[in-house]
Amino acid sequence: MGEFDLIRRYFQRLPGHGVEVGVGDDCAVLVPTPGSRWLVSSDMLVEGRHFLSTVDPARLGHKALAVNLSDLAACGATPRGFTLALALPRVDEAWLAGFARGLWSLADASGCPLIGGDTTQGPLNICITVFGEAPSGQALLRSGARAGDEVWVSGRLGDARLALEVFRGTVALDGADFESVRVAMESPTPRVALGQALRGVATAAVDLSDGLLGDLGHILAASGVGARLDVDALPRSAVLAAQPAALQQQCLLAGGDDYELVFTAPPGALVPDVDVALTRIGRIEAEPGLRVVDALGAAVAHGLRGYDHFAS
Q: So what's the pLDDT on residue 158? A: 97
**245 pLDDT exceeds 80?**
yes
Question: Contact 278/153 with Cβ under 8 angstroms?
Answer: yes
The mean pLDDT of 19-40, rounded to a whole number, is 84
CB neighbour list of residue 284: distance below 8 Å, 6 or more residues apart: 145, 146, 147, 148, 149, 150, 151, 220, 223, 225, 226, 227, 264
> What is the overall mean pLDDT for the chain?
91
Query: pLDDT category, 311, cuts 50, 70, 90?
Result: low
pLDDT reported for residue 6: 81
How far, in Å, CA of 228 to CA of 294, rounded? 10
Residue 54 one-letter amino acid: T
pLDDT value, residue 309: 53
Can you give the pLDDT at residue 308? Answer: 55
**Whole-number pLDDT of residue 16:** 67
Share of the chain above pLDDT 90, in %: 75
The mean per-residue pLDDT over the stretch 212-236 comes to 97
Q: What would the pLDDT profile of 78-120 be if each residue is shown by its tens digit? A: 999 999 999 999 989 999 999 999 999 999 999 999 988 899 8
Q: Kindly state the average pLDDT of the residues 263-290.
A: 94
Q: Taking residues 181-193, what's their average pLDDT?
A: 96
Q: What's the pLDDT at 263?
A: 98
Name the band, by pLDDT with cuts 50, 70 and 90, for residue 4: confident
Whether the per-residue pLDDT at 143 is higher than 80: the answer is: yes
For residue 271, what pLDDT is reported? 83
CB half-sphere exposure, 76, CA atoms < 13 A? 23
3-state class percentages of the chain: helix first, strand second, coil last, to nearest 5 = 35, 25, 40
Q: Over 60: is that where the pLDDT of 310 sits?
A: no
Q: In the predicted model, what is the mean pLDDT of residues 183-191?
A: 95
Helix ranges restricted to H, the chain: 3-11, 57-74, 93-110, 159-168, 175-186, 192-197, 212-223, 238-241, 245-254
